[in-house]
Structure 1
Amino acid sequence: MIIEFEEKMLELIDARIETASDDELFAGGYLRGHISLSVAKCEEQSIGDVEVLKARINESLEEAKSELSPADRIIVADLWDELQNA
């Protein structure tokens, strides 16, 4: 189940490449890393629940928030919200 969710998220990010702004490209690349890392950690622990995966991605983004400027955090958060609602 989480692999399907990961594939969907990555496909949605990839589908934007042609028309994405520089900010959107950055946010997509940044999210790809957090999504894939969180999926890998869930798989290691035999977690298949998408809601747990989403919580892990949110935690990962929160832990890394100091890596981004406030403006970049908003761009990443907006894209993440949009992807989850797609």
Structure 2
Amino acid sequence: MTIQEYEEKLLQLIDDGIDTATDDELFAGGYLRGHISLAAAECESENESQLSVMKEKVEQSIADAKSELSPLDYKIVCKQWNSLDSL
């Protein structure tokens, strides 16, 4: 799977869950979309093709933005990311 395919898969999973998502899941999904797309764009600009690198970039981006979120929101975002990443 390419970085672009992985990004599309993750974003589609977020979109597919919109109808049944809780408010927390909607928030986390929307928040993660930006981090996922940013990581994919960084990989593309660096000619990086390893999915593991993209995953690391998403995780680092979320960690770097931790101060923007309340502790509960950070936990919700991390849980949603872990859920998406395991699929």
* Superposition RMSD in Å: 0.5
Structure 1 segments unaligned to the other structure (5+ residues): none
One-letter code of the match for 2:80? Answer: L
Write the mapping of 1:13-28 to structure 2, written as runs, cut at 5 A: 13-28=14-29
The residue number in structure 1 matching 2:30 is 29
One-letter code of the match for 1:15? Answer: D
The residue number in structure 2 matching 1:50 is 51
TM-score scaled by length of structure 2: 0.97
- Matched pairs, number: 86
**Separation (CA, whole Å) in 2 of partners of 1:34 and 1:6:** 10
Helix, strand or coil at the partner of 1:46: coil
Q: Deviations over 1:1-26 (max 9, x none)?
A: 10010011001000110011111100
**Separation (CA, whole Å) in 1 of partners of 2:3 and 2:37:** 10
Structure 2 segments unaligned to the other structure (5+ residues): none
**Separation (CA, whole Å) in 2 of partners of 1:39 and 1:84:** 14
TM-score scaled by length of structure 1: 0.98
The residue number in structure 1 matching 2:82 is 81
Identity %: 53
Helix, strand or coil at the partner of 1:53: helix
